[in-house]
């Protein structure tokens, strides 16, 4: 059951370099009996099991952050079956391989089509997910991210990034006037003060604004100074991106606030629908005590769930605390449990 996982993790595929891994995965899906397996125009690896008119989409991502880790299996006294080390073992080739193996295990279901997608560039701007939203119309979507085999994620924060640029006339350092660099730092302090006040009465971190100072640079030409800071923020449901941009502009009116990249609103799914119930039953079938989680990160569910307007959740094996870390690894026993959970859930959904 772990051949798909180990083979996929062995193909290093940071964002923008996914082709080899995508080609390997489609060949693997063909070998496992998928009716179709191909690399689409965006570079996504796609496998289709079944020919029915009703769709379940299992959306993972095949790219990783940079930083190759030697792929190896190590035995562990605390982990039955060993532990797999490698970039993407957790985020998020573990969940993607789980999707492939579970769909293969379930096989064809009358009237249904299971579509497994290994999307590209999730760690950048979600180009793969943006490509597919107009090409599929599922009744259910499961997005693959690591949340452990016995948990279901029903919330992900939004995200927005801006460049804040300030300019000042060139002055002598003895003048006592504020420099562009000082003004940029002051802008960051204004943002921090606003965020602290916003978060003060909210006990749950999922409802907080979570800002990050990503970059800081300054310069000048002898006549004018400039400074630029790049600010990222994880957004709660209460603060859509447009509201955040408006608040920023009001907070720091002397600065030029420029949006960068794609803004993504927060997403929260429903607990009481057929998809969630199928997963709760599936986790219990494997001896687990299921639970729900809301995450402070952002993933492709933020893009596809609002577009498809169907029941959605996020599932996958692995400890998200290991995302992007130098010792990224996954328990092979947990992986097997997750495959069995997903197989059970898919059978329930496609009855």
Per-residue pLDDT of the chain (351 residues; tens, 9 = 90+): 799 999 999 999 999 999 999 999 999 999 999 999 999 999 999 999 999 999 999 999 999 999 999 999 998 766 677 999 999 999 999 999 999 999 999 999 999 999 999 999 999 999 999 999 999 999 999 999 999 999 999 999 999 999 999 999 887 777 778 899 999 999 999 999 999 999 998 999 999 999 999 999 999 888 999 999 999 999 999 999 999 999 999 999 989 999 998 999 999 999 999 999 999 999 999 999 999 999 999 999 999 999 999 999 999 999 999 999 999 999 999 999 999 999 999 999 999
Residue 79 confidence (pLDDT) = 65
Q: Is 182 a catalytic residue?
A: no
Query: Which position among 63, 121, 145, 328 bears the catalytic label?
Result: 63
CATH assignment at residue 47: 3.40.630.10
Q: Is 134 a catalytic residue?
A: no
340/255 same-domain check: no
Among residues 264, 280, 303, the one where a domain terminates is 264
Residue 177 confidence (pLDDT) = 84
Residue 31 confidence (pLDDT) = 98
The token duo for 346 is: 């898919």
DSSP assignment letter at 179: P
Residue 75 confidence (pLDDT) = 87
Pure H helices in 292-331: 301-308
30/144 same-domain check: yes
10/58 same-domain check: yes
Residue 78 confidence (pLDDT) = 66
Indicate whether this model's pTM tops 0.85: yes
141/288 same-domain check: yes
CATH assignment at residue 217: 3.30.70.360
Range of the domain at 203: 158-264
276/129 same-domain check: yes
Residue that the structure tokens 């009237």 belong to: 111
Residue 170 confidence (pLDDT) = 81
Residue 66, number of CB atoms within 10 A of its CB: 12
Among residues 242, 264, 286, the one where a domain terminates is 264
Q: How many residues does the chain have?
A: 351
* Widest distance between CA atoms in the chain: 80
123/57 same-domain check: yes
Cα–Cα nearest to 96, from 62, 64, 125: 62
93/132 same-domain check: yes
18/73 same-domain check: yes
Cα–Cα nearest to 155, from 118, 102, 116, 208: 208
243/115 same-domain check: no
Vertex 314 angle, CA 347 and 321, to 5°: 130
Among residues 205, 233, 264, the one where a domain terminates is 264
Query: Which position among 122, 145, 328, 334 bears the catalytic label?
Result: 122
322/218 same-domain check: no
87/173 same-domain check: no
Number of domain units in the chain: 2
Helix (H) / strand (E) containing 213: strand 210-220
């Amino acid at each position: 059951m772990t051949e798909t996982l180990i083979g996929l993790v062995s193909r290093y595929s940071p964002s923008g370099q996914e082709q080899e891994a995508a080609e390997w995965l489609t060949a693997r899906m063909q070998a496992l009996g998928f009716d179709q397996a191909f690399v689409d125009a965006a570079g996504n690896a796609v496998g289709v099991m079944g020919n029915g008119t009703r769709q379940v989409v299992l959306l993972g991502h095949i790219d990783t952050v940079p930083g190759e880790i030697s792929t190896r299996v190590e035995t562990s006294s605390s982990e039955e079956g060993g532990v797999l080390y490698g970039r993407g073992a957790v985020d998020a080739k573990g969940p993607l391989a789980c999707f492939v193996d579970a769909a293969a295990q379930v096989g064809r279901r009358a009237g249904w089509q299971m579509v497994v997608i290994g999307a590209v560039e999730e760690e950048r701007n979600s180009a793969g997910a943006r490509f597919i939203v107009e090409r599929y119309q599922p009744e259910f979507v499961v997005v693959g991210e690591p949340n452990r085999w016995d948990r279901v994620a029903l919330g992900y924060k939004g995200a927005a990034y801006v460049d804040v640029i300030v300019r000042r006339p060139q002055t002598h350092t003895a003048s006592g006037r504020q420099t562009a660099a000082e003004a940029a730092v002051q802008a960051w302090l204004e943002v921090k003060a606003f965020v602290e006040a916003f978060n003060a009465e909210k006990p749950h971190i999922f409802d907080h604004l979570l800002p990050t100072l990503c970059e800081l640079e300054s310069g000048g030409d002898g006549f004018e100074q400039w400074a630029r800071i790049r600010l990222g923020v994880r957004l709660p449901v209460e603060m859509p991106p447009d509201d955040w941009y408006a608040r920023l502009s009001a907070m720091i009116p002397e600065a030029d606030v420029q949006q960068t990249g794609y803004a993504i609103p927060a997403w929260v799914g429903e607990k009481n629908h057929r998809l969630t119930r199928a997963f709760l039953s599936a986790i219990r079938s494997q001896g687990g005590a299921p639970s729900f989680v809301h995450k402070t990160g952002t993933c492709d569910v933020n893009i596809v769930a609002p577009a498809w307007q169907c029941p959605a959740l996020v599932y996958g094996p692995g400890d998200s605390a290991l995302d992007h870390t130098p010792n990224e690894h996954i328990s092979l026993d947990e992986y097997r449990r997750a495959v069995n959970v997903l197989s059970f859930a898919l059978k329930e959904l496609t009855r």
